[in-house]
Amino acid sequence: MIDDTTQWTDALIHLFALAARLEGEGQYNLAKLMRAAADSLCRRESYPLEIPSDPERLAVEVQRATEALSRLNMSAELLAASRQGAAFMAQGKLSPITATPHPYVCRGCGHVTLAPPAEPCPICGAFAETFQKFMPNYWFDALQPEAARERLRQTPLVVEQLIAGLSDEAMNQAAPDGGWAIRNTLSHLRDAQGVLDFRVDLFLQEAHPVLESKAVFAWAKNEAERPPSPRAIFESYCAARAETLRKLESFAPADWERVGYHEEFGAVTLRQQVSYFAAHEGTHLAQIRALCG
C-alpha cells in the first residue's frame, strides 16, 4: 500500500495527463503503458480492501461514495443514478437500465453524460463519437462468435478436469469462509446455461426479444429441482450446453447482430449475449480450482 494519499493521487492524475499528451503526439504505445500502469495501481491498491457484500451495507457504501463524489463536483446526473441504483439494491433488486443508464465520459475533459451523446462536448468541444462508453462489464464484447462458441465448448471440459476424482462429499463441502461449495458453482453454471439457452431461442423466434433481467447468482444455493449429486448437476449442464451449441451453429453471420432489449443492460445483440455468457463462465473456474485445493 502507498501510505501518502496525496502522493498517490498526484501520481495517478499525472499518469492520465501524460497518457493524454502522448496520445496527442501520436505516441500511442507509450500512452497505453501509462494507462495500464494507472489501472494496475488502482486495482493493486483496492485488491486487499475489505468491502462488505451484504446489500444493505453495500448500499450504505454506495451512498458514502456518492456523497464524496458530490463534494468533488461529480455530475448530478451520475449521482442521481447512483442513488437510484443503491435504492434498488437495498430492496434486493437489480438496478434496471432505465434507472442506471450507461455513462459516457468525454476522453478530453472528463464531462459525463448518461445519454448517448449526440452533440459535441459542451465543455471542450470533443466530438460525440469520441466519448468513452462504460458498459456494465467487459463480457459483452470479449469474444467474437467463433471464439465464444469455442469457449462455450471448452469450459465444460476444463470443469470436468478440475472435478475429476472428487467425491460428492468433497464437492458438497462449503468454502472455508462459508461461501459456495463446488456444488453451488456447478449449479450456477447450469442455471446460467439455462438462461443462455432460453435467450438463444428468443433471438431465434422474435425479431426484437425482450430479455428479462435474472439474478442468476442468487439461485446457486437454491436446491429446488436440482439433481441430487453434484456430478449429475454437471452432466445436465454439459448436455444442455451441447444443445445450445447445436442451435448456435444454425445462425447466419447477420443473425449474430440481431438486437434484443435487456431490462438490466438495454440494447444487446445476440453476439453480445453469447460473448457475455461465454466470458462469464471463465470467472468461475478459479473459484472451482481454489476449492479443489
Give the binding site for Zn ion (CB under 5 A). 106, 108-109, 111, 121, 123-124, 126
Can you tell me whether residue 133 is helix, strand or coil?
strand
127 or 217: CB nearest Zn ion: 127
Question: Min. distance of Cβ 120 from Zn ion in angstroms?
Answer: 8
Question: Min. distance of Cβ 106 from Zn ion in angstroms?
Answer: 3
117 or 209: CB nearest Zn ion: 117
Report d(CA 288, CA 166) in Å as an integer. Answer: 12
112 or 238: CB nearest Zn ion: 112
Question: Min. distance of Cβ 71 from Zn ion in angstroms?
Answer: 22
Report d(CA 121, CA 220) in Å as an integer. Answer: 44
Question: Min. distance of Cβ 127 from Zn ion in angstroms?
Answer: 10
Evaluate whether 238 touches 155 at the Cβ level (below 8 Å). Answer: no
Can you tell me whether residue 104 is helix, strand or coil?
strand
123 or 290: CB nearest Zn ion: 123
93 or 111: CB nearest Zn ion: 111
Question: Min. distance of Cβ 119 from Zn ion in angstroms?
Answer: 11
Question: Min. distance of Cβ 123 from Zn ion in angstroms?
Answer: 4
Question: Min. distance of Cβ 118 from Zn ion in angstroms?
Answer: 14
Q: Which residues pair with 132 in a beta bridge?
A: 105
Among the listed residues 22, 26, 50, 52, the one whose alpha carbon sits nearest the alpha carbon of residue 37: 22
Per the listing, cell 456494465 goes with: 136
Grid cell, residue 93, equals 433488486
Report d(CA 7, CA 5) in Å as an integer. Answer: 5
Whether the CA torsion 2, 4, 9, 11 is positive or negative: it is negative
Grid cell, residue 152, equals 462455450
131 or 234: CB nearest Zn ion: 131
Can you tell me whether residue 132 is helix, strand or coil?
strand
The CA-atom distances, in angstroms, between 202 and each of 81, 129, 131, 195 are 30, 31, 32, 11
Report d(CA 152, CA 131) in Å as an integer. Answer: 32
127 or 198: CB nearest Zn ion: 127
Question: Min. distance of Cβ 32 from Zn ion in angstroms?
Answer: 21
121 or 171: CB nearest Zn ion: 121
Report d(CA 48, CA 236) in Å as an integer. Answer: 37
Report d(CA 227, CA 223) in Å as an integer. Answer: 9
